[in-house]
Every structure is written in C-alpha cells, then in structure tokens.
Chain A
Amino acid sequence: MSSSSSSSSSPPCPKKMITLKSSDGETFEIEEIAALQSKTLENMIDENCASTPIPLPNVKGKILAKVVEFCTKHAEAGADAETLRAWDAEFVGVEHAIVFDYILAANFLEIPTLLDLACESVAEMIKGKTPDEIRKFFNINNAFSPEEEEDVRRQNQWAFE
C-alpha cells in the first residue's frame, strides 16, 4: 500500500498524499506521483481539487485498494522491467470477475497501463480456445439453436482447421 504520510522529519521533502474515497465509503491514501498515472486524477490534481478526499463512486473499496497498489508499484523508481512484468502477471492472475472490475476502474480512472494489462489478460483467456471452451470458461449461455450453431460454424469453418 502507499507509504507513510509526510509528517515525520527524516525524508528531506515530504511526499504529497492524495486521499481517495471508494463507492462504499472506504478511504485510501496514495502518493501524488503514483496518482498521476491516472489521467482522471491528474486532471483533478492540476485543477487543484485534490485537497479533500476525491470521491470515486464507480469503484468499490476492494478494487480501489488494488488499483492504488498497482499505481504505487508502477510509480516506484528503479523497478526493472523483468520484475515488474512478473509482478503484473501475478496482479492479474486472479478470478476473471475481478479482472473485469480492474478494467472498469482503469477505464474510469484512465490508467492506460492497467487497462492494457487487464484487457490483455482477458484476451489470453480466449486465445486458442474453441467456442465450447470459451463458453465453459466464462459460463456463457449458448443461446444458438442447433441449426444456427451449425450454420455459424460452417461460415467460419476455416478457423477450425
């Protein structure tokens, strides 16, 4: 999570913290530099609206906590690309419903790195799978009649060879 707040004497310049408030009332502190990864938050900071807790009615506490974690990690200086990639992979290695929430939050907050990462991971869930496997994975109702399914499959036959 975000590092300690600015009041103590040891760091030469105190880190500026922003407070975010989730849809379910939880508050989270995030370093300004990490918050700048979100274009939405960046605009708010620029316009100087960031003194009071910023309400984010579209994002639940559980997800906001993770988003803060992501932005903080990605704002760290000196992170090597390999380690970061591994960390990212673990970050999205969760239930796909949660990944969808990441996508919605990243879209709302305009965090391109998180958005691309999460969308890519959903695409990975689909790649190489047959329609049946995709249905099972996402628990999707087929809704085709047998004739429709046969027809659609025939039209895309080359994709099955």
Chain B
Amino acid sequence: MDPSVDFVPILGLDMSFKILLSLGDPCDIARASCVSRSWHGFVVSNGLSKQLCLGMFPQLSGVDHVTESCSFKTEAETGSSNTKEWDVLEREHRVYGFLSHCCRSIVDRECISDAISASSTDNFPEEGINNTLEMRDRVGRIASYWSSEGQKKPAVPETLIYKLVGDLCVITEIDIQPFQAYFQTGLPIYSAKSVRFRMGYPKASVDLDSVDQSCHDSTNDKFVWTYTSPEFPMAQENCLQKFKFPKPVLCIGGFLLVELLGRVQRQEMDGLFYICVSHVRVLGRPLSPTFGVDIIEPSGKFVLKALSYTKESLPESSPRRISSLELQRRVRNLEHILNMLRGNVRDVEDIWDEGQDDSDEEFA
C-alpha cells in the first residue's frame, strides 16, 4: 500500500468537497470528520453537513442561525484557538448533521395535529373541516365530510388549513379523498380540478383559539406561507388520492394549507359548484421534540434549534384523533338541537334515531 494517500491535500478543496458531499449520508460525513485533525478541519470549515442538509431541504435557506440546548464546550478542541466563527461552524456541523440524519431515519406517520379552518363551509359544523380528519366518509349513519359553499363559477378555489404535529416536520406525501354524495342521485363526486399545498407559520399576532373554523377569508392573511408545492391534478374518483412530493419537503412553522383549485361538480338541486372532501392525511416525519424553530418576524428568517441529540418521537396518535368520533357526534347532535330550538327545522328523528339514512341529504 502506498504511503499516505490522503486525497484531501492531493486533490485540493474543490475536488475533495465534491467527493465528500457525494457521500450523501450525513453519518458518513460525520464519521469523516472524526478521521483526522485535517479532515475534521476540512469538513467543519467547509460546512459539509450544512451543504448536504441544504441540498436535501432548500427550505432551510431561511435559517438565520442555529442553537443547541446542550453544550459541547470542552477544553480539548482541535488545536486552534476557539474563535466565535469556529464555534458557529462546529455547532452548524452538529445541528445540520443530526437534522439530516433524523430526516432520513424516522419512519413516516400521520402528521396532522388539528384542523384549523376552511375558506368556506356550507353547513357548519355538520360539514365542517373537522370531518376531514375522519378516514371514513360516514360514521354510523352520519356522513363525514367537509363541504365548501356553492359557487356559480367553477374557477373559485377553496383552502383548508391544518396544524401539524410539531413546528418542524418533513412531509413526503399528502393524501386526499374527495367526497361522493352517496345520498344524491347520480352519486356525484365533489372533487377539485387540482390541488396545491403551501406550508408556513402563523404571524405572531394570531390567536389560533379564536379562529373561525368555518370560514377564513381573514385567517389566510394571518399566515405566512414559505413553501408552495407544484400543482397536482385531482381525479374525480371516490378514493384516497396520493399526492407525493418529488422530494420530501421540510415544513417550517408547522402549518399546512391545502389549496383546492377549480370545481368540477355541480349540485343538481341548486345548480351551484361545490368542493367536498371526505379525508385529508399528511404523511411525514415530525422532528419535534428533537428540533424546534423560532420565527424571527418580520424578516421571516428563523432560528433552528436542536433540543436534544437523541431521537425522541412523539406518541403515535395525535390528540385530535384520540378525542373520539363519539365526542364529535355528540357535539354535532347538540348543534342539531340548538338549530332546532332556533327554529331551523330538521327531523327530530335525526337526533334520537340513528337509523335515519339521509340525515344529511339537504345541504344547501
């Protein structure tokens, strides 16, 4: 074997950088930084971990700086005196390296934590956005779907806003099932023409608890959407349609906007176009509680925080899902009662007799 065939000095900066970056696996880059003092210096000072991570998630270009919850400060550094710049580089090396490692090694799971609001709702709460969290299009005899208001023009879009599990989440795929009105003649499917997704964060001033779930003309202004996906065509089919991103996307801020573009189905009864969705599912890898973000307003830049260096995962079911359909149904029944008391007549049997097939037939 030859005497030292260390390629870093032989090939120079550009080529060595190219080779190490092409390793592709953050673990390989981290291990490379442990090979020797010069490799360590090379990997850290050239920000290899950061470059790899940015290549995976261009959404991270908005990072202002990174922080760690634990300290790695020790006496034994790599020989050079600790300048502030070097500390920053070392910290970035650790944080970005671990972030890309977590992004690659966590298994996909459901990432919606809560439904926030819809751009419009025909009958709230019976046809409210919360129904899209339920996989089935009916529970017992009660249909479970969200419906927009009707529009004369099919081009009018609708949007749905969801809160995700944690403020940093890698999203790989979003699944949507449009609703087929099984109780209407012709079994119309109220899909959209196409869908698009945006991700972002709420402005500091927003109080999410006071948001109107049924319509969000003003709510939409309360968010900053930093990522927009390509547009995906939607089929007019009653099935869970999968919209897979070409590359996984890092959602920074923890909020998702589903844009439903263009209507295709007119309701026979009133001649208006509606969009109805039975189920929305978001697949990805939550990075909380291991990582967090702080948005720096108004610049929109953010602080990337490594809160621990062990991979901790959140419990499998998010709180919204655990709160059962039973509860929702009871709430809905109470709404029915209130409506009745206010004089909006609906069949009393709807409430007392679950045997009714077409309790939700009227939805104009």
A residues adjacent to B (C-beta < 8 A): 95-97, 100, 103-104, 107, 119-120, 122-123, 126-131, 134-135, 138-145, 147-160
> Which residues of chain B have C-beta atoms less than 8 A from A96's C-beta?
5, 7
- The answer to whether B28 touches A127, judged by C-beta atoms less than 8 angstroms apart, is yes
Per a CB cutoff under 8 Å, which of A95, A100, A120, A143 touches B11? A100
- The answer to whether B28 touches A128, judged by C-beta atoms less than 8 angstroms apart, is yes
- The answer to whether A123 touches B5, judged by C-beta atoms less than 8 angstroms apart, is no
- The answer to whether A154 touches B72, judged by C-beta atoms less than 8 angstroms apart, is yes
Per a CB cutoff under 8 Å, which of A97, A122, A141, A155 touches B19? A122
Measured CA separation A128–B1 after assembly (Å):
21
Measured CA separation A103–B2 after assembly (Å):
18
- The answer to whether B31 touches A142, judged by C-beta atoms less than 8 angstroms apart, is no
- The answer to whether A157 touches B35, judged by C-beta atoms less than 8 angstroms apart, is no
- The answer to whether B31 touches A130, judged by C-beta atoms less than 8 angstroms apart, is yes
Measured CA separation A152–B101 after assembly (Å):
17
Per a CB cutoff under 8 Å, which of B5, B15, B75, B90 touches A107? B15
Question: Which of B36-44, B207-215, B229-237 touches A?
Answer: B36-44
Q: Which of A127, A131, A155 gathers most chain B CB within 10 Å?
A: A155
- The answer to whether A126 touches B32, judged by C-beta atoms less than 8 angstroms apart, is yes
- B1-32 Cβ-contact flags toward A at 8 Å (1 or 0): 11111110011001100111011111110111
Q: Identify the closest chain A residue to B26 (Cβ).
A: A159
Secondary structure at the A interface, as helix, strand, loop or mixed, is: helix
- The answer to whether B98 touches A158, judged by C-beta atoms less than 8 angstroms apart, is yes
Per a CB cutoff under 8 Å, which of B31, B72, B74 touches A134? B31
B residues adjacent to A (C-beta < 8 A): 1-7, 10-11, 14-15, 18-20, 22-28, 30-40, 72, 74-79, 90, 94, 97-98, 101, 309-311
The 4 tightest CB contacts between A and B, nearest first, are A159-B30, A147-B76, A156-B30, A131-B34
Measured CA separation A119–B20 after assembly (Å):
9
The smallest C-beta distance from B267 to any residue of chain A, in angstroms, reads: 54
> Which residues of chain B have C-beta atoms less than 8 A from A122's C-beta?
7, 19
Per a CB cutoff under 8 Å, which of B15, B25, B39 touches A119? B15
Measured CA separation A52–B22 after assembly (Å):
38
- The answer to whether A143 touches B36, judged by C-beta atoms less than 8 angstroms apart, is yes
> Which residues of chain B have C-beta atoms less than 8 A from A123's C-beta?
19-20, 22-24
> Which residues of chain B have C-beta atoms less than 8 A from A126's C-beta?
19-20, 23, 28, 32
Given contact pairs A148-B77, A156-B94, A100 touches B10 in the complex (Cβ within 8 A): yes
- The answer to whether A141 touches B36, judged by C-beta atoms less than 8 angstroms apart, is yes
Given contact pairs A139-B3, A156-B97, A144 touches B36 in the complex (Cβ within 8 A): yes
> Which residues of chain B have C-beta atoms less than 8 A from A129's C-beta?
31
> Which residues of chain B have C-beta atoms less than 8 A from A140's C-beta?
4, 6, 35-36, 39
Measured CA separation A95–B7 after assembly (Å):
13
Per a CB cutoff under 8 Å, which of A104, A120, A131 touches B31? A131
Q: Identify the closest chain A residue to B72 (Cβ).
A: A155
The smallest C-beta distance from A17 to any residue of chain B, in angstroms, reads: 30
Given contact pairs A119-B22, A157-B309, A97 touches B2 in the complex (Cβ within 8 A): yes
The smallest C-beta distance from A133 to any residue of chain B, in angstroms, reads: 9
> Which residues of chain A have C-beta atoms less than 8 A from B40's C-beta?
144, 152
- The answer to whether A135 touches B76, judged by C-beta atoms less than 8 angstroms apart, is no
